[in-house]
Amino acid sequence: MKILFTEDRKNQAAIEKVAKLSNSIYSQKGEGPFYHIHTFGCQMNDHDSERMAALLELMGYEYTEDETRASLILLNTCAIREHAEERVYGFIGRLKSLKENDLIIGVCGCMVQQKHVLDKIKKSYPYVDMVFGTHNYYQLPIYLLKALEGEKSISVLEDSPRIVEELPAIRASKISAFVNIMEGCNNFCTYCVVPYTRGREKSRLPEDIIKEVKGLVEEGTREITLLGQNVNSYGRGLEEEVDFPELLNRLNEIECLYRIRFMTSHPKDLSDRLIEAMKLEKMAPSFHLPVQSGSTRVLKMMNRKYTREDYLDKVYKLRQALPHIGLTTDIIVGFPGEELEDLEATISLIEEVGYDSAFTFIYSKRLGTPAAGYEDKLDYEEKHRRFDRMLGKLNEIVIEKNHSRLGQVFEVLVEEETEAGIYQGRTPQGFLVRFPGSREDLGQLRDVKITRTKNFSLEGEICH
């Protein structure tokens, strides 16, 4: 079921009231109101923040980098690791000193979907004005109106069967944009909180996605990254029979769109049809395929539903179809019950696949997940030792591959100027390259020759 944001009368009324109210307060000051959003976590959170920024700007707020100037600070939080949670508490604690200047503080995102977090915020940080979750962040205008009228809001829904369409967004990049195609996850990997914080899988209708992408392309977007916790299962539950490869086929038809990327994919759902769709003209030959562990025994404990052999078979098929594909992954070391031979299996898988890069983590216990109840015999030092071993091997491979790109020419989509006269963009495989350029290059595909390689970055020159 979907609802149109533009038809949500309560929200629309709140937008108008906040705009009037803030205008009358801040016109006396001669500037503002300013907002600041601090985003933790993944691209889904980045994109939710882009949407909340657009809502705030609809209400007359302007962005500021400087927290001390802000009349509203939003923390869009992440629940994936304990460390991220601790950082959020530290951040909220720091904001107390700014609270004296009528500052409104909001905490939203995945972290507040957990009861223990809500309890802690209520008890330890009573000066927080708004707390809302991942399923109702679009109602920010309603909560902000209450806060301006001196009323607190705590509104966290467990799940929502609805997808909200036509939400505005202020995107970090005009040239390369995120597009959500689904929300939630049904997989219940034993270490992961996402199915509890983002709810069950819900796919957007293909026509809504295509309409959004066409609109973006009209405004100058040339590359899209389709987002979902498991894009490979896109389409389940929709009335029309449409799966992820079919969606890619339809998006491939959009004129003036140069490249399509996506993340994240679950290896168990990577089908031959998707591998075939990767050959479409606009598909970037780049694949993020989280393996998590190279040991079938650990994968079973993680409830990943594939074996080491299944995973390697899919990598083989991807490379058969697209020999120059860029491959990246996620790896967890120190999962409860991991033995040394499991770590060896992960290291040998890293060698066998030869990743271009990876997000690597030490296992972080998350309350409410099955793995939080598993016996964990490894101490902190041993986990770090294992992590360093794995990372040493991974970096060896990544660095060697990066240096091997010296002298090669890649077609780069020029995305932004990072400093005066220096531009950056990505190769089809997803490697970031910096090179001298000009404003006319922005949004264009340019052949760039790699003239200098560092361990983890590339520099080049446009071929004229």
When asked if residue 426 is in the footprint of ligand SF4 (CB under 6 A), the reply is: no
Measured from the CB of residue 191, what is the shortest distance to ligand SF4 in angstroms? Answer: 7
Rg for the chain, CA atoms, rounded? 23
In whole angstroms, give the CA distance from residue 368 to residue 199. 14
Measured from the CB of residue 150, what is the shortest distance to ligand SF4 in angstroms? Answer: 38
Query: Residue 337 burial by CB count (10 A; 0-12/13-18/19+): exposed, middle or buried?
Result: middle
The residue within the footprint of ligand SF4, chosen from 52, 72, 104, 189 (CB under 6 A), is: 189
Residue (228 or 437) nearer to ligand SF4, CB? 228
Q: Quick one: which segment of 115-123, 162-170, 185-193, 331-339 binds ligand SF4 (CB under 6 A)?
A: 185-193
The residue within the footprint of ligand SF4, chosen from 43, 187, 225, 444 (CB under 6 A), is: 187
Ranges within 256-275 binding ligand SF4 (CB under 6 A): 266
When asked if residue 55 is in the footprint of ligand SF4 (CB under 6 A), the reply is: no
Residue (188 or 456) nearer to ligand SF4, CB? 188
Size of the site for ligand SF4 (CB under 6 A): 10
Measured from the CB of residue 187, what is the shortest distance to ligand SF4 in angstroms? Answer: 4
Measured from the CB of residue 268, what is the shortest distance to ligand SF4 in angstroms? Answer: 9
Measured from the CB of residue 229, what is the shortest distance to ligand SF4 in angstroms? Answer: 4
Residue 187 makes CB contacts below 8 A (sequence gap 6+) with 195, 229, 230, 266, 303, 305
Measured from the CB of residue 327, what is the shortest distance to ligand SF4 in angstroms? Answer: 18
Cα-Cα-Cα-Cα dihedral sign, residues 16, 166, 178, 82: positive
Output DSSP code: residue 103: -
Measured from the CB of residue 302, what is the shortest distance to ligand SF4 in angstroms? Answer: 8
When asked if residue 443 is in the footprint of ligand SF4 (CB under 6 A), the reply is: no
Ranges within 191-220 binding ligand SF4 (CB under 6 A): 192, 194-195
Q: Quick one: which segment of 140-148, 187-195, 206-214, 407-415 binds ligand SF4 (CB under 6 A)?
A: 187-195
Measured from the CB of residue 373, what is the shortest distance to ligand SF4 in angstroms? Answer: 16
Residue (43 or 187) nearer to ligand SF4, CB? 187
Cα-Cα-Cα-Cα dihedral sign, residues 433, 435, 439, 445: negative
When asked if residue 288 is in the footprint of ligand SF4 (CB under 6 A), the reply is: no
**Per-residue interface string for the shown chain with ligand SF4, residues 217-256, x marking contact by CB under 6 A:** ------------xx--------------------------
Residue 255 makes CB contacts below 8 A (sequence gap 6+) with 217
Phi, psi dihedrals of residue 266, rounded to the nearest 5°: -95, 125
Phi, psi dihedrals of residue 12, rounded to the nearest 5°: -65, -40
Q: Quick one: which segment of 124-132, 183-191, 248-256, 392-400 binds ligand SF4 (CB under 6 A)?
A: 183-191
Residue 79 makes CB contacts below 8 A (sequence gap 6+) with 41, 85, 109, 110, 111, 113, 114, 117, 193, 197, 366
Q: Which residues pair with 35 in a beta bridge?
A: 63, 72
In whole angstroms, give the CA distance from residue 445 to residue 423. 12
Residue (190 or 221) nearer to ligand SF4, CB? 190
In whole angstroms, give the CA distance from residue 52 to residue 381. 41
Residue (26 or 361) nearer to ligand SF4, CB? 361
Residue (74 or 185) nearer to ligand SF4, CB? 185
The residue within the footprint of ligand SF4, chosen from 188, 316, 359, 456 (CB under 6 A), is: 188
Residue (201 or 415) nearer to ligand SF4, CB? 201
When asked if residue 289 is in the footprint of ligand SF4 (CB under 6 A), the reply is: no
In whole angstroms, give the CA distance from residue 295 to residue 309. 10
The HSE-up count of residue 245 (CA atoms within 13 Å, CB side) is: 12
Q: Quick one: which segment of 119-127, 153-161, 189-197, 245-253 binds ligand SF4 (CB under 6 A)?
A: 189-197
When asked if residue 11 is in the footprint of ligand SF4 (CB under 6 A), the reply is: no
In whole angstroms, give the CA distance from residue 265 to residue 225. 13
The closest alpha carbon to 91, from 118, 64, 128, belongs to: 128
In whole angstroms, give the CA distance from residue 170 to residue 102. 26
When asked if residue 293 is in the footprint of ligand SF4 (CB under 6 A), the reply is: no
Q: List C-alpha distances in Å: 422 to 119, 440, 454.
A: 48, 13, 17
Given the structure tokens 């992440």, which residue do they identify?
78
In whole angstroms, give the CA distance from residue 349 to residue 296. 11
Measured from the CB of residue 210, what is the shortest distance to ligand SF4 in angstroms? Answer: 25
The closest alpha carbon to 193, from 380, 372, 383, 336, belongs to: 372
Yes or no: say if 11 and 22 are a contact pair by the CB < 8 Å rule.
no
Q: Which residues pair with 288 in a beta bridge?
A: 328
Residue (104 or 189) nearer to ligand SF4, CB? 189
Which residues of this chain interact with ligand SF4, rule CB under 6 A? 185, 187-189, 192, 194-195, 229-230, 266
